[in-house]
Amino acid sequence: MFRASLIITFDVSVSVSSFFRKAVKRIMAKKSIADVEVQGKVVLMRVDFNVPQDDAGAITDDRRIRMALPSIESVLKRGGKLVLMSHLGRPKGKGPEPEFTLAPTAVRLGELLKSPVAFASDTVGPDAEQKIKTLKNGEVVVIENVRFNPGEKDGETVYAGKLAGWADIYCNDAFGTCHRSEASMVAVPKVMVGKPKVVGFLVAKEIQYLSETLSNPQRPFVAILGGAKVSDKINVIKNLLSICDTVLIGGAMAYTFSLAEDGQVGKSLVERDKVPLAKELIGMAGDKLMLPEDTHCGDAFSSDCNKQVVASGKIPDGWEGLDIGPATAKKYADIVREAKTIIWNGPMGVFEMPPFDFGTQAVAKAVAESSGTSIIGGGDSAAAIEQLGFADKVTHVSTGGGASLAMLEGQKFEAVEILDEA
């Protein structure tokens, strides 16, 4: 319901690039945290500290925290009192669930800032109240997971009013959550009538990179789309087919396309109910849409299974596709290396499980070698590019998985739209 109201459907007659040019203007017209006087003021900043953790609760990737540092430090250095709020994971929304506590993120932030960071064990309760009231200029407190309160998911105004009550200034620096309309993203700034509501540096940078790239791409413009499901990327594929020169498909979603071409997929992961849609996409794409020509498959989902490379659509019974094959990897890498603009979202295979990281690795290396502008979507593709050591050789790695996909679909973000114009 929420998504439907925000999706902008493009038909061929609509100028996509003019939409994105407007989007750039719009975001650049938003007031930024740098534009407000924060000395002695309480700044309520929505960040996305939804970071991956291992079973013991240790943070395995702190990129989202590091990427929020410019906004955080800007407030602290200028003598603001900073209250950070975020969600972590998907708790039930019925009170505290220890495995979803934000406490480890406060510790990690303290390490990055090289000074202790306070943590409040609630969001609108007595601990938050006491810790926020006693904040001194230049100090920061992280409050507990906003999704522990049912009002967060519901986008409810009573809860939002209480959160807003802490603050003189609202700042959205949670790019990874900008496609959500939860209370801390939308209702909170909405109730802060008459108070400054601004974007942080991370949100501004992410939206600017993505929208500028889409509105004014140097050509050839190549999109690489992978991951497990076609259903996650239907609108992205449709939108990108209308603006890119080539869309390369990898990952398990390639097997659903293979089924649409009457291929044999063995026991590969497929979405049978999406076959008609895959047929439709193949039909509308002409030769812009490239599908793998070979597949690296295994007889079990493990590194040490028996393996073989077969032509696409020729996966034997009892075998499953786990990566693009070497011929496809080479072909895709050649195309990517020559591209002047590259957008990548979703791995080409099971990159966490060598040797099925080969295709993702070949493409990542080609992205790193290309001289063009390269934007890597968040989530798995960001993890892959980091893990493979190429993160500093691309133009931009997004901190948002779902949010960057939403931008590639052409969605507008209410959470940004409602903030103050510059």
Is 379 known to be catalytic?
Answer: yes
User: How many Å apart are CA 53 and CA 62, to the nearest integer?
Assistant: 9
Specify whether the CB–CB gap between 387 and 397 falls below 8 A.
Answer: no
The residue ranges that bind ligand 3PG (CB under 6 A) are 48, 50, 90, 176-177, 180, 401-402
Is 229 known to be catalytic?
Answer: yes
Q: Which amino acid is at 50?
A: N
Rounded to a whole number of angstroms, the minimum distance from the CB of residue 402 to Mg ion is 4
The DSSP-derived string for 93-114 is SSS--GGG-SHHHHHHHHHHHT
Which residues are CB-neighbours of 111 under 8 A, at least 6 positions away?
none
Is 402 known to be catalytic?
Answer: yes
Q: Which amino acid is at 309?
A: V
- Residue with Cβ nearer ligand 3PG (99 or 261): 99
Rounded to a whole number of angstroms, the minimum distance from the CB of residue 233 to ligand 3PG is 15
Window 186 to 245, contacts with Mg ion (CB under 5 A): none
- Residue with Cβ nearer Mg ion (165 or 402): 402
Please tell me whether residue 89 binds Mg ion under the rule CB under 5 A: no
Which residues are CB-neighbours of 291 under 8 A, at least 6 positions away?
249, 254, 257, 258, 261, 282, 312
Q: Candidates 271-279, 282-290, 303-311, 396-404 — which segment interacts with Mg ion by CB under 5 A?
A: 396-404
Q: Which amino acid is at 56?
A: A
DSSP class of 395: S
- Residue with Cβ nearer ligand 3PG (361 or 399): 399
Residue showing the smallest CB distance to ligand 3PG in the complex: 50
- Residue with Cβ nearer Mg ion (220 or 402): 402
> Per the residue annotation, which of 266, 379, 400, 410 is the catalytic one?
379
Which residues are CB-neighbours of 49 under 8 A, at least 6 positions away?
64, 65, 68, 84, 86, 88, 102, 105, 142
Q: How many CB atoms lie within 10 A of CB 125?
A: 14
Per CB under 5 A, the list member of 402, 407, 410, 419 interacting with Mg ion is 402
- Residue with Cβ nearer ligand 3PG (177 or 341): 177
* # of chain residues touching Mg ion (CB under 5 A): 1
Rounded to a whole number of angstroms, the minimum distance from the CB of residue 398 to Mg ion is 12
Q: Which residues bind Mg ion (CB under 5 A)?
A: 402
- The catalytic site residues sit at 64, 229, 379, 402
